[in-house]
Chains A and B, each alone.
Chain A
Amino acid sequence: MEFAFTLEQEALRSEVQQFIAENVTDEILAELEDTGIRRRGPRTREMYHKIAERGWIGMSWPREYGGQDGSRIDQYIVEEEFARIGITVGGAGSGGPAILAAGTEEQKEEFIPGIIRGEISFALGFTEPQAGADLAGLQCRAVRDGDEYVINGQKMYTTAAHYATHIYLMARTDPDAPRHRGISIFLIPMDTPGITVRPLWTIQNNPPAPLGTTYGDGRTNETFFENVRVPASCMLGEENQGWYVGAMGLNLDRVGASRYLISIQRDEDIVNWVKENDIEGYGMRADPTVRDRLADMWIEGQVCRLMTLRSMSIVESDGTFTYEGSAEKVFAPEHGVRTTETIAQILGPYGQLLNGSEDAIADGVFAHNLMGAFQSGINHGSVQVMRDQVARRGLGMPRV
């Protein structure tokens, strides 16, 4: 066991921190803090190109497609530092890793360099109105017609759909096969005729959540497919194998730097806030209950960190996950909720004040987190589904 990063890895972290200190200007911060723009602002995009020039996007990806053949740990370090200021550099969420794992040569050449340059991004088209946790019940249909597929259906919570270039779509290609064996994955340009995106406003919409809030997005979408014709070459992996292709991407989506950070940033925020601030007359820093609760949450945060490092260690040593990723996806989101609710009880009525309110603490981030932290236990596999997986895959307990 070896819990420290190497000197080279620490040097990389310092280099990224220095890059951020030198390049993240007030204008970029203003873009990132604007929930309507975030990382899509012109100055932020310009900086993104500089990040790509440094070779920091998709670092662990193969050099032949524009990556660095670097270690997954290096990539994690870079991801963590950028995620702390709200910039995602991991490479299109589930899309990149799944394309590298299951894509054809043409698909890798078509997508990976573009992802690295920041020109291609994916919305995730998995969930449907009647298929959430029970994803294998999805009904969106893709019917083969010559060299094309014709797609009809509806996807829910396609969060990035209004700005992504592509959608990573799961659709049913064989309605007669057993549920998991009639599903395929497609990589479809969002400007394909027949695709309509409609906004769904979340409870974070107004006022806008401050930067760093767990699930602070004010908008997600529903996306409709009406006789959308795409070439058969849009399919990722084999026909009807989409369930298994999708699982490859999802495992990597559930663990890693951004999952870790959305679970633990409030631990750091509240300790650092209490060190510098107080509510007049409270004496918060000396209060024994506050101290005990903060230490408790800090320790849980350390467990989140170590579970993340465990997942990275498994990935880096080419091991396979049995239950470890699911375990992390149980503990970390629920920790995020516990710490958020603990902070609410420490701050009392100040804990309810949203961004922009008189007397709001830290731009209302703790209040907004009360609307976001629990989403982490729902999105990308609910904690109940994750517990099922720990019990069944990890402990060999029977299906209900």
Chain B
Amino acid sequence: MNVLPAEEELMVKNAAREFLDAECPPSLARAVEQDERGYSLELWEKMASLGWFGISLPEAYGGGGLPVTYLGLIIEECGRAIAPVPIHSTATASLAVARFGSSEQQADILPRVARGELIMTWAVQEQDPRLRADAIRCRGEVDGDHLVITGIKHFVDNFSAAELMVMAVRTAAPGADNAGVTLAIVPTNAAGISETRLTTLAKDSQSKLELDGVRVPLGNVIGEVNQGWPATQSMLDTGTALLCAQIVGAARKDAEMAIEYAKNRVAFGRPIAGFQSIQHLCADMVVWCDGAQLLTYEALWKIDEGLPYAVEVSQAKAFTNDKCQATVRSSQQIHGGIGFMMEFDLHLWYRRVTAWTMRMGTSFEHRARVAGALLDQPGKVRLGMNLEPVS
């Protein structure tokens, strides 16, 4: 047991930070907010040349073969730098292919992801945005050797940048064990998809999709028809843990900006960092970020170890949502009026962290899952035990 990042992990994290410090100023995120493309192609290509997108994909497919904790550390740094690149959605979808895809699917997709030639996303949520099997209503019907999809997919991240989506659809009525969900790889340019871009708090690229008889070959199905929920759940949980890392990185940077600002801002004849009311707020912000980071690292570590991880992911997201939101709000408080001026950079972090707390599961949803694991199965509980979720 040593919960501190190991030397090799720190090397990767520090290298990512140095690279992003040099290549990803806040002005880049600001510029991309106004850009139809929705991401920085130049930054994406530079990151690809460093091998980041494949770092936790199998070596057999051109990846780095490292634990997903490494990818988590890189995404944490991307969050810190609010890097305007579709790394999170690509990682979420490509890891699902790496874990559950057929060898043909893996051979087709993973090397291109590792080289940075393929942007991906995930499409699970619909009008009822809750991350549960019975909220999936978008219909899939098997027609010969094709799957035909009709319905709505909502809040699809980086749709316009992505080439492929990993999509969950309903192919049979909700049954026992959450059967009836099928997970499939769907090209974003397939005939029958109409897109509406959403205007979001983070000014990022999300879309609502209407699918009308979209045909994909059955070879695109990940696993078996009707048996896709466990893979979907795993994709969501892995993506949620990575999103926590992204939020923690951004929130900690946001806190550091407040601490730095407080040391320089003079009021009542001294830097406001000398006031205990400010010091204690800053201390709390750091304690909150530390807690979110520890929970996130434990969740990522459990994913790698093949241990049950769903409860740890939900713990991390619920706490991260609440406490990182509190962190960036406190940072706004310390900055005062200048903090919400458009020309000042702080809002770039505030708007993203706030928006990300609402993505991939609210605090309420994740706490409900933790509560189920605690209360809805027999036996005494103890902190630190492995807890299985109740489906």
> Which A residues fall within an 8 A CB radius of B?
1-6, 9, 73, 264, 267-268, 271-272, 274-275, 285, 288, 291-292, 294-296, 298-307, 309-310, 312-314, 316-317, 319, 323-324, 327, 330-331, 384, 386-388, 390-392, 394-400
In the complex the two chains form, is A391's CB within 8 Å of B279's CB? yes
In the complex the two chains form, is B282's CB within 8 Å of A391's CB? yes
| CB-CB under 8 A for A272 and B371, given A330-B287, A395-B259 | no
- The majority secondary structure among interface residues of chain B is helix
| B341-357 to A contact mask, C-beta < 8 Å, 1/0 | 00000000000000000
In the complex the two chains form, is B294's CB within 8 Å of A395's CB? no
When C-beta atoms are compared, the residue in chain A nearest to B381 turns out to be A271
| CB-CB under 8 A for A299 and B319, given A310-B3, A312-B1, A391-B279 | yes
**Complex-state Cα separation, A274 to B278, whole angstroms:** 40
Most chain-A CB neighbours within 10 Å: which of B3, B271, B318?
Answer: B3
In the complex the two chains form, is A400's CB within 8 Å of B375's CB? no
When C-beta atoms are compared, the residue in chain B nearest to A323 turns out to be B286
| CB-CB under 8 A for A387 and B279, given A4-B305, A397-B273 | yes
CB contacts (< 8 Å) of B297 on chain A: these are 1, 3
B contact residues, total (Cβ < 8 Å): 49
In the complex the two chains form, is A302's CB within 8 Å of B1's CB? no
CB contacts (< 8 Å) of A9 on chain B: these are 1
B192 within 8 A of A: no
In the complex the two chains form, is A294's CB within 8 Å of B371's CB? yes
CB contacts (< 8 Å) of B301 on chain A: these are 1-3
| CB-CB under 8 A for A295 and B295, given A327-B290, A388-B279, A391-B283 | no
| CB-CB under 8 A for A303 and B295, given A3-B301, A291-B368 | yes
In the complex the two chains form, is B367's CB within 8 Å of A292's CB? yes
B384 within 8 A of A: yes
In the complex the two chains form, is A299's CB within 8 Å of B370's CB? yes
B315 within 8 A of A: yes
CB contacts (< 8 Å) of A275 on chain B: these are 375, 378, 380-381
- Min CB–CB distance A397 → chain B (angstroms): 4
When C-beta atoms are compared, the residue in chain B nearest to A394 turns out to be B286
Most chain-B CB neighbours within 10 Å: which of A296, A304, A317, A399?
Answer: A296
B161 within 8 A of A: no
In the complex the two chains form, is A302's CB within 8 Å of B383's CB? yes
In the complex the two chains form, is A387's CB within 8 Å of B371's CB? no
| CB-CB under 8 A for A310 and B318, given A3-B1, A295-B374, A302-B383 | no
Which of chain B's residues 220-252 have a Cβ closer than 8 Å to chain A? none
| B361-391 to A contact mask, C-beta < 8 Å, 1/0 | 0001001101100110010111110000000
**Complex-state Cα separation, A18 to B374, whole angstroms:** 25
Question: Quick one: which of A267, A313, A327, A386 contacts B383, CB cutoff 8 A?
Answer: A267
Question: Quick one: which of A294, A309, A386 contacts B375, CB cutoff 8 A?
Answer: A294
**Complex-state Cα separation, A3 to B296, whole angstroms:** 12
**Complex-state Cα separation, A386 to B287, whole angstroms:** 11
CB<8 Å pairs between A and B, sample of 19: A3-B3, A291-B371, A294-B371, A299-B370, A303-B294, A306-B3, A306-B291, A307-B290, A307-B291, A387-B279, A387-B283, A388-B279, A390-B283, A394-B283, A395-B279, A397-B262, A397-B273, A398-B271, A400-B279
New contact pairs (12) apart from A1-B297, A306-B295, A388-B280, CB-CB < 8 Å: A3-B298, A272-B380, A272-B381, A291-B371, A292-B371, A299-B370, A305-B383, A307-B291, A310-B4, A313-B3, A390-B287, A400-B274
**Complex-state Cα separation, A274 to B298, whole angstroms:** 27
| B59-86 to A contact mask, C-beta < 8 Å, 1/0 | 0000000000100000000000000000
CB contacts (< 8 Å) of A394 on chain B: these are 283, 286
**Complex-state Cα separation, A295 to B3, whole angstroms:** 23
| B256-271 to A contact mask, C-beta < 8 Å, 1/0 | 0001001100000001
In the complex the two chains form, is A1's CB within 8 Å of B3's CB? yes
CB contacts (< 8 Å) of A324 on chain B: these are 290
When C-beta atoms are compared, the residue in chain A nearest to B380 turns out to be A272
**Complex-state Cα separation, A267 to B375, whole angstroms:** 12
**Complex-state Cα separation, A356 to B9, whole angstroms:** 54
Which of chain B's residues 23-45 have a Cβ closer than 8 Å to chain A? none
Which of chain B's residues 300-320 have a Cβ closer than 8 Å to chain A? 301-302, 305, 315, 318-319
B196 within 8 A of A: no
CB contacts (< 8 Å) of B374 on chain A: these are 271, 294-295, 298
- Min CB–CB distance B49 → chain A (angstroms): 27
When C-beta atoms are compared, the residue in chain B nearest to A327 turns out to be B287
B176 within 8 A of A: no
| CB-CB under 8 A for A397 and B263, given A291-B375, A292-B368, A298-B374 | yes
- Min CB–CB distance A108 → chain B (angstroms): 28
In the complex the two chains form, is A285's CB within 8 Å of B283's CB? no
In the complex the two chains form, is B1's CB within 8 Å of A397's CB? no
Most chain-B CB neighbours within 10 Å: which of A1, A300, A386?
Answer: A1
- Min CB–CB distance A36 → chain B (angstroms): 30
CB contacts (< 8 Å) of B69 on chain A: these are 1
**Complex-state Cα separation, A73 to B364, whole angstroms:** 35
CB contacts (< 8 Å) of A264 on chain B: these are 383
CB contacts (< 8 Å) of B22 on chain A: these are none
Nearest first, the 10 A-B pairs at minimum CB distance are: A391-B279, A390-B283, A291-B371, A295-B367, A306-B294, A303-B291, A295-B370, A295-B371, A387-B283, A387-B280
B199 within 8 A of A: no
Question: Quick one: which of A302, A386, A388 contacts B315, CB cutoff 8 A?
Answer: A302
**Complex-state Cα separation, A66 to B105, whole angstroms:** 62
**Complex-state Cα separation, A73 to B69, whole angstroms:** 23
CB contacts (< 8 Å) of B2 on chain A: these are 1-2, 313, 316-317
- Min CB–CB distance A88 → chain B (angstroms): 20
When C-beta atoms are compared, the residue in chain B nearest to A261 turns out to be B383
CB contacts (< 8 Å) of A288 on chain B: these are 368
When C-beta atoms are compared, the residue in chain B nearest to A389 turns out to be B283
- Min CB–CB distance B331 → chain A (angstroms): 13
In the complex the two chains form, is A303's CB within 8 Å of B319's CB? yes
B5 within 8 A of A: yes
When C-beta atoms are compared, the residue in chain A nearest to B375 turns out to be A285
CB contacts (< 8 Å) of A4 on chain B: these are 1, 305
**Complex-state Cα separation, A330 to B286, whole angstroms:** 11
| CB-CB under 8 A for A296 and B383, given A303-B291, A306-B298, A316-B2 | no
B284 within 8 A of A: yes
- Min CB–CB distance B6 → chain A (angstroms): 6
B19 within 8 A of A: no
- Min CB–CB distance A115 → chain B (angstroms): 26
Question: Quick one: which of A1, A299, A398 contacts B273, CB cutoff 8 A?
Answer: A398
CB contacts (< 8 Å) of B273 on chain A: these are 397-398
- Min CB–CB distance A259 → chain B (angstroms): 14
In the complex the two chains form, is A5's CB within 8 Å of B280's CB? no
**Complex-state Cα separation, A271 to B276, whole angstroms:** 37
| CB-CB under 8 A for A313 and B4, given A272-B380, A387-B284, A388-B276 | yes
**Complex-state Cα separation, A375 to B286, whole angstroms:** 24
CB contacts (< 8 Å) of A301 on chain B: these are 383
CB contacts (< 8 Å) of A400 on chain B: these are 274-276, 279
CB contacts (< 8 Å) of B284 on chain A: these are 330, 387
**Complex-state Cα separation, A330 to B364, whole angstroms:** 25
